Amino acid sequence: MLNPVMAKNFYDVLGVSRSASEKEIRSAYRKLARKFHPDVNPGNASAESQFKEVNAAFDVLSDPDKRRKYDKYGDRWEMADQIEEMQRQQAAGGGGFARNAGATFGDGDLGSIFGDLFGRGRGRNANRRGQDIETSVEVSLEE
């Protein structure tokens, strides 16, 4: 579930560095939450929007597991479990498509993705033959 708030860097939203401690994150959150709280800014849509961004950033950065996923996968942190599962399957000898799924999908070019999918991959399993696997996958143009 991606939402529009995810487009901003959570560290920037709170005004802290990536190496900020839990205490620094909590302190920055409290300061900004007081500043943008709807009770302090009644009827101010901009302040309400910023308040939601601050809350979303704090929700992720204050939770060690969510923060680890966010640091590793960025705005795709909510899909971290699926990405890591595909990587585990690939390491165990899974299909070539999984090698390009998840976090590396956006970084690769279509030639390498389809090359891997159709057996012209550059990966360590490129020349390895195995059992054919067939599955249906629905992917939107945006994905």
Give, in degrees to the nearest 5, the angle at Cα 73 between 72 and 74.
105
Whose tokens are 């309400």? That residue is 48
For 40-44, what is the mean pLDDT?
92
pLDDT class for 23, splitting at 50, 70, 90? very high
Dihedrals φ, ψ of 43, to 5°? 80, 0
State residue 87's pLDDT score.
87
* Rounded mean pLDDT, 31-54: 93
Centroid of chain to Cα 80: 7
Cβ count near 34 (within 10 Å): 12
pLDDT one-digit tens code per residue, 56-77:
999 999 999 999 999 998 888 8
pTM confidence score: 0.57
Q: Structure tokens of 12?
A: 């920037």
15 against 131, higher pLDDT: 15
Whole-number pLDDT of residue 95 = 53
- Do residues 78 and 2 make contact, with C-beta atoms less than 8 angstroms apart? yes
